[in-house]
Structure 1
């Protein structure tokens, strides 16, 4: 692993991890001796909360896939998508949440299972941890399917932006993390020149993220790592993208200022070899005092 210390919640800190599992049933499989799968990873890391995206399974099937972890004391809350085999987000936690809220009040997107948040007593304070799977979208072309994906993502941004604004002014300590499907700056994508017209790096998408940060949300990984390339957490399965670290930083935590000020470190659990991957995304963890 690269830059992947194990957190120690016994010292008063707590850690929140986000990872797009790209199908929970696939993520827990151990395909060969070099692919350890999600469950051994979960056992080896003492993170307190794991925010899951693209679960792509019913709650019953997800609980079956995660049975060893749940038997070991982990708690699961999740959403199910109205479209079978699509989307779905969840929250795994070592302690049972005090409250759970599914969706953000959207008639269109809540049934698709793209957002869930839960309250936890972490570090002596109530912290809201939210798992987000933002639509991937598409570049705007003459293809009707691309047009629909492009417009769908824009509708999501239009609805979700005001919800984030309300969270920011709620007075709560909140972190919204997940697969944002938007690389904010040129530092967040290796081949930014070749992706200027592609979904995930379109000007209006980047401006939308920038507006959230300008309003007060803190990109804790960018604050921690500074003005450097990456660290990336998604690489295509194709070609040599992973080996060449030709990735995207689209998995990140946005935190309210009070919580962000408690950040101690953040890291990407990048596997040390291609065949040790159990998703095309790597877990990203933020630790708070």
Structure 2
């Protein structure tokens, strides 16, 4: 199974850059999108490729946030609403269930705009999301979380660690959260199951020469419940074309 996740930073902008033509060639079973920045009534047939069942969860606020899932196989169930009303309002999560496997497209808050948003981000991660993840593990659920987590895990996941270690996305408490998730709770960073190289990034600032100099951050993930360990077959960060400030993360699984 091939799964692609990408923050498109505006699905209409990505479409103009050839995203859907590329997607057709990739022929993935499941595609997870974040930051679609569009309401469904703003999207025509170009945004509903015939190869897929397409499900959007836009934010209530126009031109902001939002997630989507495309799947070749029709899901048994698609879940857009959670107990987390702020996540629902901003369209930050959508889940598709396929028999015993769930795939989630999730867009974690950025805390870079102001301290209030950073506080919201950490409160969601620690008080709500981590308990949810632990419960999934306890229940034996098989889940793949795909999306923009807005956190780098280790020094090797960011070009300029020293200059950014006190900025949102690279804060000690954020990286410690991922330490706990991966090292203690046992969830799997699917990319690192295959690729241990430095300099593997998925996002580059539009300022300066970040893309040209590969001054990037690895903040996009496919995160697996512990019972999916050993299922990763292949991985790629696609950089031959640019559809947004993020690169698509492509994973292939042995199921």
Q: CA deviation at 1:65?
A: 4.3
Q: For residues 65 and 24 of structure 1, do their structure 2 counterparts lie closer, same or farther at Cα, with a shift above 3 Å needed?
A: farther
| Map of 2:25 onto structure 1 | 44
Provide the rounded CA distance (Å) in 1 between the counterparts of 2:54 and 2:4: 14
Q: 1:245 pairs with 173, 198, 214, which one?
A: 214
Q: For residues 89 and 76 of structure 1, do their structure 2 counterparts lie closer, same or farther at Cα, with a shift above 3 Å needed?
A: same
State the SS of the aligned residue for 1:108: helix
Q: CA deviation at 1:207?
A: 1.0
Query: Would you say the 8 A contact 1:104–1:163 is kept in 2?
Result: no
Query: Would you say the 8 A contact 1:175–1:256 is kept in 2?
Result: yes
| Map of 1:223 onto structure 2 | 193
Unaligned segments of structure 1, at least 5 residues:
1-13, 31-36, 139-144
Q: 1:118 pairs with 91, 96, 102, which one?
A: 96
| Map of 1:175 onto structure 2 | 144
| Map of 1:286 onto structure 2 | 251
| Map of 1:236 onto structure 2 | 205
Query: Would you say the 8 A contact 1:90–1:131 is kept in 2?
Result: yes
Larger Rg: 1
Provide the rounded CA distance (Å) in 1 between the counterparts of 2:76 and 2:57: 17
Provide the rounded CA distance (Å) in 2 between the counterparts of 1:169 and 1:194: 39
Q: For residues 63 and 154 of structure 1, do their structure 2 counterparts lie closer, same or farther at Cα, with a shift above 3 Å needed?
A: farther
Provide the rounded CA distance (Å) in 2 between the counterparts of 1:154 and 1:191: 23
Q: 2:10 pairs with 4, 10, 23, which one?
A: 23
Provide the rounded CA distance (Å) in 1 between the counterparts of 2:81 and 2:139: 17
| Map of 1:56 onto structure 2 | 37
Structure 1 ranges of 4+ moved more than 4 A: none
Q: 2:120 pairs with 130, 141, 152, which one?
A: 152
Unaligned segments of structure 2, at least 5 residues:
none
Q: Aligned Cα RMSD in Å? A: 1.5
Q: For residues 257 and 154 of structure 1, do their structure 2 counterparts lie closer, same or farther at Cα, with a shift above 3 Å needed?
A: closer
Query: Would you say the 8 A contact 1:55–1:62 is kept in 2?
Result: no
State the SS of the aligned residue for 1:207: helix
